[in-house]
Chain A
Amino acid sequence: MTGCHSPRPSWMRRASFVLLMSLVGVFAGARPVGAHEGEQAVAAKDDILQAIAIIVNKPTDMDTIEDKIGDALESEHQEGVNKALVEQAKDALEGNDMMKVRDLLQQAIGASPDMTGTDVQPILQVPKGESTVPLATGEQPGTAVVTDEMPGRGGLTGADVTLLVLAGLLALAGLVLALRSRPADTVRGLRRRAATTIGR
């Protein structure tokens, strides 16, 4: 056996010290989180994009959607926004018609409505002059239209079944080969042999 016991493991103290300092570091580094630190005036167009994104990502969060639409209506920067359509969206929100809310908000900022979320062509081909979003730089997302989530897959296609069959064959081949070439001894077997040999 390679291991030997030292009477006083000094590394234990070092490990404890490192762990303690790490934990102190974690809690010392914590600071109160300011949710609205450095808040700046937000353009109505950005508020509307955010409202649409919340409808898409978290449609049950009615309060935030309502806040964002309210912020958009109150914003001093109304460039590129059809305020009347935003008002209509606000009314539609009260009627819980989320599809209509989203459609109206998209129209309000001149974005083409894309309710299917599966056809990418309209996103790639925003007509010239219709997009008011300049090319993105830095950390800007460059988003003109908030699309729906695209699901992973629908039903299994012929190609899917073929791939699954191929995967099954691969797994079978791998397992058979791995079983055929497995070492003569397991670690337990080697230990037994070692114990027998050394004890002899």
Chain B
Amino acid sequence: MTRIDETGTTREPGKQAPTMSRSRRLVAAVDDRLGLDAIRYPVPEHANNLAWSLGGLTAVCLGLLIVTGIVLAQFYNPTPEVANASVRYIVQNVALGRFTRSLHFWAAQGMYVLAALHLIRVFFHGSYKRPREANWLIGVSMFGLTFLALFTGTVLKWDQEGYEALAHNLETAKLLGGVGFWFSPKLAENTPILIRLYTAHIMLIPILLVALLVLHALLIKRHRISPHPALPSSVPDTPAPLTADPSQDARETTISAAGPGETFVEPTEPFTRHLIRLTEFGLVLLAGLSVLAVLFPPTVGPTPVAGIEVTKPMWVYWWMFTLEDWLGLSGILWGAGVLFGLLFLLPFIDRRPARYWRARPVAMILGSAVLVTFIVLTVLMVFTTPAEHLGM
């Protein structure tokens, strides 16, 4: 009579089970109940380098932000009268408070830069093309949320710079009419808008980010990591079919060129191996951010006063503020609208299957033009004295 052991293996009576260490048995038991083995899907060798790990490193930054953010939230007071003072309290009185805040500050910028580099990498390799359009849209949405998180974080320190950022946001929201209702102080007149932005910063935005991150990861698993455009791959690049038998899903362990006489097979490793490599890169990233956090901690600006415009925003927003200098407040709106509009529309405009950059000259030229415009607008802000645009 056939027996089934604790790992789910069928065995003839009288035959010994293969010896398993205690830790292996534990992993097997957990896997049996949680299905963790599903993450051991094959990852092609080309994806185990730094360029293809930028998305994962962005997630590492998100993790750092959540951990440091939880610590900061224990001491931060989002009441306008004392918000600035509570940030000073964190820096001066809380053990490792200056480092924690500084690491949060640099991890936020790290996340923004890495997400932007990840988007550029995906664009360069054409990884947004069929069947990965939806995942591109999710990625762009996450990039937008990162931008929002940076903005709300800037406001929370409640100094002159943060307050002026908020004032710009409120004025810009007015240009949107009813669509910008959430940013109107009139939505909840008795509640300081700082408190509403705080809830967005610590709850709404992180929840959305994590939810989209999970979806992003699931879609990567579903479509597999995109093939390198310079290497032979199966054509067309369609998603792996869903089968009733999970073991069938795992059968694809190699990615090979399909064609008569073509025998090139790109080696693969399980995704868990990719995660280990990501952890190694993550250690270096954490070290780099820690050095920045120690050597260049952010200042805490003066308590804010309404009705003046005397500060420059964080570098992340400089491109927008150059546009504001040229076009008025609507420049911020149009700049953000055009950038995110182009990013969202990209997979619907560029639908040719070609992925290698040399086969996509128009996309490369337009992409480079957008990038150069972005950099030039940012650099111009260095030499610009911001004009007053707020009708305060």
Give the distance in Å from the alpha carbon of A166 to the alpha carbon of B289 in the complex.
Answer: 12
Question: Interface size on B (CB < 8 Å)?
Answer: 114
**For A9, A46, A148, A184, which residue has the most chain B Cβ atoms within 10 angstroms?**
A9
A140–B306 Cα distance when bound, in Å, is: 7
Q: Is the CB of A61 within 8 A of B306?
A: no
Nearest-neighbour CB distance to chain B for A186, whole angstroms, equals 7
Interface status of B301 (Cβ within 8 A of chain A): yes
Contact A174 B299 (CB under 8 A): no
**CB-contacts of A179-199 with B (<8 A):** 181-187, 190-191, 193-194, 197-198
In Å, the complex CA distance between A146 and B338 comes to 38
- Which segment of B15-23, B64-72, B116-124, B279-287 sits at the interface? B279-287
Given A1-B356, A14-B349: A170 in contact with B290 (beta carbons within 8 A): yes
Q: Any chain A CB within 8 A of the CB of B79?
A: yes
**A147:B310 contact, CB within 8 angstroms:** no
Q: What is the bound-complex CA distance between A57 and B161, given in angstroms?
A: 10
Query: Would A137 and B190 be within 8 Å (CB), given that A15-B366, A174-B280 are in contact?
Result: yes
Tell me if B143 counts as interface (CB < 8 A to partner A). no
Q: How far is the CA of A144 from the CA of B189 in the complex (A)?
A: 21
Residues of B within 8 A of A36 (CB): 391
B29 interface residue, CB < 8 Å from A? no
Q: How far is the CA of A151 from the CA of B231 in the complex (A)?
A: 51
Per-position binary interface string of chain B over residues 312-338, scored 1 when its CB falls under 8 Å from any chain A CB and 0 otherwise? 000000000001001111110111011
**B window 1-47: CB within 8 A of A:** 45-46
Complex-state Cα separation, A49 to B306, whole angstroms: 9
- Chain A residue with Cβ nearest B96: A159
Contact of A190 among B231, B298, B306 (CB under 8 A): B231
- Chain B residues with Cβ below 8 Å from A164 are 290-291, 294-295
CA distance in complex: A31, B326 (Å): 10
Are B359 and A167 within 8 A (Cβ)?
no
Are A26 and B331 in contact, with the CB atoms below 8 A? yes
With A and B bound together, what is the CA distance between A50 and B191 in angstroms? 24
- Distance in Å: Cβ of B263 to nearest Cβ of chain A: 6
Is the pair A138, B192 in contact by a Cβ cutoff of 8 Å? yes
How close is A103's CB to chain B, nearest CB, in angstroms?
A: 15
Q: Does A41 contact B (CB under 8 A)?
A: no
Whether the Cβ atoms of A2 and B303 lie closer than 8 Å is no
Task: State whether the Cβ of B165 lies closer than 8 Å to any Cβ in chain A.
Answer: no
B285 / chain A contacts, CB cutoff of 8 Å = 174
Cβ A53 vs Cβ B81 within 8 A:
no
Complex partner residue of B306 from A15, A29, A46, A120, CB under 8 angstroms: A46
Distance (whole angstroms) from the CB of B187 to the closest CB of chain A:
9
Report chain B residues within 8 Å CB of A84: none
Nearest chain A residue, comparing its CB with the CB of B357? A3
Asked whether, in the complex, the Cβ of A139 is within 8 Å of the Cβ of B189, the reply is no
B:333-392 near A, CB below 8 Å = 333-335, 337-338, 341-342, 345, 349-356, 359-360, 362-363, 366, 387-389, 391
Output the least CB separation between A129 and chain B (Å): 15
Contact A149 B300, beta carbon cutoff 8 Å: yes
**Which one, B84, B189, B354, contacts A138 given CB within 8 A?**
B189
Do residues B306 and A187 form an inter-chain contact, with CB atoms below 8 A? no
Q: Is B215 an interface residue (CB 8 A)?
A: no
**CB–CB B327/A167 < 8 A:** no
Query: What string of 1s and 0s marks CB contacts (under 8 Å) between B167-189 and chain A?
Result: 10010000000000000011001
A42 near B287: Cβ-Cβ < 8 Å: no
Contact string against B for A residues 120-154, beta-carbon threshold 8 Å, 1 for contact and 0 otherwise: 10011000000001011111111111111111110
A100 to chain B, nearest CB (A): 18
The one of B89, B301, B356 that contacts A120, using a Cβ cutoff of 8 Å = B89
Shortest distance from the beta carbon of B91 to any chain A beta carbon, whole Å: 7
- Which of chain B's residues has its CB closest to A156's CB? B294
Q: What is the chain A residue whose CB lies nearest that of B235?
A: A2
Q: Does residue B193 face the partner (Cβ distance < 8 Å to A)?
A: yes
Q: Does A98 contact B (CB under 8 A)?
A: no
A141-B49 contact in complex given A3-B353, A33-B389, A181-B277, C-beta closer than 8 Å: no
A191 to B228, CA, bound (A): 10
A149 engages B301 (CB within 8 Å): yes
Contact, CB under 8 Å: B81 / A142: yes
Residues of B near A135 (CB, < 8 A) are 81
Chain A positions near chain B (C-beta within 8 angstroms): 1-6, 9, 11-12, 14-15, 18-19, 22-23, 25-27, 29-38, 42, 46, 49-50, 52-54, 56-58, 61, 64, 117-118, 120, 123-124, 133, 135-153, 156, 159-160, 163-164, 166-168, 170-171, 173-175, 177-178, 181-187, 190-191, 193-194, 197-198, 200
Could you show 12 A-B contacts with beta carbons less than 8 Å apart?
A: A19-B342, A56-B160, A57-B302, A61-B310, A144-B81, A145-B303, A149-B302, A174-B281, A174-B285, A181-B276, A190-B231, A193-B264
Q: Given A11-B349, A18-B341, A149-B302, output 15 extra A-B contacts at Cβ < 8 Å.
A: A26-B323, A26-B338, A33-B387, A46-B307, A57-B160, A57-B302, A139-B170, A141-B304, A164-B291, A170-B284, A170-B287, A174-B284, A184-B267, A198-B262, A198-B263
Identify the 3 closest CB pairs spanning chains A and B, nearest first. A174-B283, A3-B354, A142-B80
